[in-house]
Amino acid sequence: MGLKRFFRHREHSMMQRIMVPIMLIVMLQVVIFCAVMVSGGSLSYIYQNSYQVLSEKLHSRSSSMDLEFSSVGSELRSSVNIVNSTVSGTLLSQARSAGEITSDAEFGSDVIKSLTPELADLVSKGRSTGAFIILNNPDGNGGYSGIYIQENNGRPEMIVGETPYISGTGVQISGSAEKYFVLTEDEGNDFFFEPLNRALNAEGEETSIGYWSMMHKSVVTGKEVISYTEPLISGDGTVYGVIGAEVSEERLAEILTDSGLSDSGDITYMLA
C-alpha cells in the first residue's frame, strides 16, 4: 500500500510540474498575440471592417426603402394624371362643371365609379397596401364621399364606398364596408387635409406637390400606415378631392428585414 501511494504521489507531482510550464507558455503566447494585435492595428482594422460591412448592409436597406417610396409616389402620380384625364372626359361628355362633382351627390358618385378601375389597378401593382379617392364634399358632420380599395387574396376589395361604385368593375365588397369616410381636421387626418388645403391655398405648380404623412393609424383599417396623397385638380383649377396610397407597417417590415444584421433578430430602424 505504501509503494502504491508513493508512485501515485509521484505521478501527480510530475503532472503538476509539466502543466505549470505549459500553462505559462500558453499565457505568454496569449499576451504576445494581444500585444501584436494592438501594436499592429489589427483590432482597429477588424473594428473598421465590421463597421464597413454593417454600414453597407444598412445602406442597402435604405436604398430598398427609397426605391419603395419612390415607386409608390411615381405610381400614384401616374394615377393622378389618368384620374384627372378621366374626369375631364366625363365633364366634357356630360357638359358638367368640376364644381358639380362636389356639390351634386349623384354626379359625384358617377365620377367615383368611373375612377374605380384605375384605383383597383393601382392597388394590384403591389407597392401599396391600400388606395383611396376622397371627394372634397363635406356633409357638415365630417362625412366625405369616396372609395377605399385594398387587395384581399389577390383580388381588389372595397372597404369604404357605395355598392354602385364597383358595379361591373370586378371589385368585391367587404362585408363590413363603410359607405363614406368620416374625417375631422386633426393630426391623424393630415394625409387628407394637408394636400387638400395646400392645393386650395396655393398657386401654380405648388398644387401638384404630394404629401408623405407620418406613421399614423389608418382611418379605414386601423393599422399603422404611412400615406402618400395628392390633390385632385380639374382643368379649371377646381380642387375636387384627394387621391392617396397607404403602405402598412407590415409591408415596411418586409422591406426592412433584420436578416444579416442580428443573430437575435432585435433590430430597430429609425426612418427620417
> How far, in Å, CA of 234 to CA of 98, rounded?
6
- Packing angle of the helix pair 42-94, 105-124 (nearest 10 deg): 150
The confidence band for 253, taking pLDDT boundaries of 50, 70 and 90, is confident
Model confidence pLDDT, tens digit, residues 155-209: 899 999 999 999 888 899 988 889 999 998 876 789 999 999 999 987 655 555 7
The pLDDT, as a whole number, for residue 19 is 64
To which residue does cell 418586409 refer? Answer: 254
The confidence band for 3, taking pLDDT boundaries of 50, 70 and 90, is very low
- The pTM assigned to this predicted structure is 0.73
The pLDDT, as a whole number, for residue 60 is 60
The confidence band for 241, taking pLDDT boundaries of 50, 70 and 90, is very high
Q: How do beta strands 130-135 and 224-233 pair?
A: unpaired
Model confidence pLDDT, tens digit, residues 68-90: 778 888 899 999 999 999 999 99
The pLDDT, as a whole number, for residue 15 is 59
Burial track 66-91 (b if 16+ CB lie within 10 A, e otherwise): eebbeebbebbeebbeebbeebeebb
The pLDDT, as a whole number, for residue 6 is 44
Answer yes or no: is pLDDT of 10 > 60: no
Model confidence pLDDT, tens digit, residues 33-42: 666 656 655 5
